[in-house]
């Protein structure tokens, strides 16, 4: 079956939109703030125009943000006269999820692990540095084990500024590895706290999971802050920008392989 899809990940801060044409993620992925509804609606329409004439064209989405997800469903039915195919609701999850309540585990985390495991085929930890920073682990059979949830970069920087009198706002563009050994001014000191704090957390948690697993896992990073945080770091095996979108496409392909022959 040829895969022609618009894939949409509805996050907490941004909507990510990509197109798979003949099975390949083609063209730029657009990331637009969830509040800019008209802009992301137009991006979905543009993405649809790339694939609409093709075999089995569909719009497949996943999300962790119910209000924006229902806005996406409305936009797609009004402007494209299609129904969004939702992973988890209309499509089976692509991996087995061993958490206490799988339906409450973030679908982005599940899809990240599914997409990463497809490449690694071994114990894997995905670090998603988005609005929240999540770690999500699977065993060597690709089963989702659980993980960790912590505040993301933007959230940490905003909280430091908003809840103090003296701390400045650091913009996303300013966020990078600190270049002073001790943080000799306020902004450098904040970068030391947030940048090294997150890397230290990731290292500590990966070490704990490696001990549990009895083996060092592959560590794959994704999300808006992955490059700034992890570029060139030996703990992270690779940075894959659009992991969740690959997970959405995989869920669609797996579901059809399983059900079309029935
Ligand atoms: N151009 C940008 N606009 C917004 N955030 C950006 C940008 N570039 C980098 N970031 C960083 O990306 C992070 C948000 O990540 P991302 O966009 O992956 O999250 P998201 O879309 O809200 O997804 P999720 O809710 O799934 O984490 C913020 O902490 C911010 O620092
Ligand atoms: C943790 C976030 C916000 C990360 O996007 C998302 O995966 C989510 O809302 N998860 C639900 C809670 C859980 O994963 O256990
Ligand atoms: K994300």
| Residue pLDDT, tens place only, 233-262 | 999 999 999 999 999 999 999 999 888 877
Q: Is 254 tagged catalytic?
A: no
Closest ligand 2 atom to the C-alpha of 107?
A: 7
Please report the ipTM that was assigned to this predicted complex: 0.96
Report whether 109 belongs to an annotated binding site: yes
Closest ligand 1 atom to the C-alpha of 175?
A: 31
- Phi, psi for 11 (deg, rounded to 5): -90, -170
Length of the chain: 262
Domains of the chain: 5-86 (3.30.420.40), 102-245 (3.30.420.40)
pLDDT at 91: 97
Query: Taking a C-beta distance cutoff of 8 angstroms, is the pair 153, 196 a contact?
Result: no
Going through 22-123 in order, the beta strands assigned E by DSSP cover 24-33, 58-63, 85-86
Count the neighbouring beta carbons within 10 Å of the beta carbon of residue 63. Answer: 25
The single residue of 74, 90, 100, 108 carrying the catalytic annotation is: 108
pLDDT at 261: 72
- pLDDT tens string 60-90: 999 999 999 999 999 999 999 999 999 999 9
Residue 134 Cβ contacting ligand 2 at under 6 Å = yes
Report whether 186 belongs to an annotated binding site: yes
Report whether 254 belongs to an annotated binding site: no
Report the interhelical angle of 107-120 vs 243-259 (nearest 10°).
80
25: helix, coil or strand? Answer: strand
């Amino acid at each position: 079956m040829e895969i022609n899809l618009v894939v949409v990940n509805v996050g907490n801060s941004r909507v990510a939109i990509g197109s798979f044409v003949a099975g390949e993620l083609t063209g730029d992925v657009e990331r637009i703030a969830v509040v800019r509804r008209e802009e992301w609606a137009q991006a979905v329409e543009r993405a649809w125009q790339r694939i609409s004439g093709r075999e089995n064209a569909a719009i497949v989405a996943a999300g962790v943000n119910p209000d924006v997800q229902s806005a996406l469903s409305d936009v797609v039915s009004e402007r494209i006269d299609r129904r969004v195919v939702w992973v988890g609701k209309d499509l089976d999850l692509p991996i087995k999820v061993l958490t206490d309540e799988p339906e409450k585990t973030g679908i982005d985390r599940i899809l990240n692990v599914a997409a990463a495991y497809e490449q690694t085929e071994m114990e894997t930890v995905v670090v998603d540095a988005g609005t929240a920073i999540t770690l999500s682990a699977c065993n060597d059979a690709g089963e989702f084990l659980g993980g960790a949830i912590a505040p993301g970069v933007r959230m940490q920087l905003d909280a430091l500024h908003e809840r103090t009198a003296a701390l400045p706002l650091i913009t996303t563009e300013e966020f990078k590895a600190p270049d002073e050994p001790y943080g000799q001014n306020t902004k450098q000191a904040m970068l030391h706290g947030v940048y090294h704090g997150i890397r230290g957390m990731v290292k500590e948690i990966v070490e704990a999971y490696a001990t549990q697993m009895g083996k060092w896992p592959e560590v794959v990073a994704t999300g808006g802050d992955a490059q700034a945080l992890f570029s060139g770091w030996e703990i992270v095996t690779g940075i894959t920008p659009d992991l969740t979108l690959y997970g959405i496409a995989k869920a669609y392909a797996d579901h059809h392989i399983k059900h079309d022959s029935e």
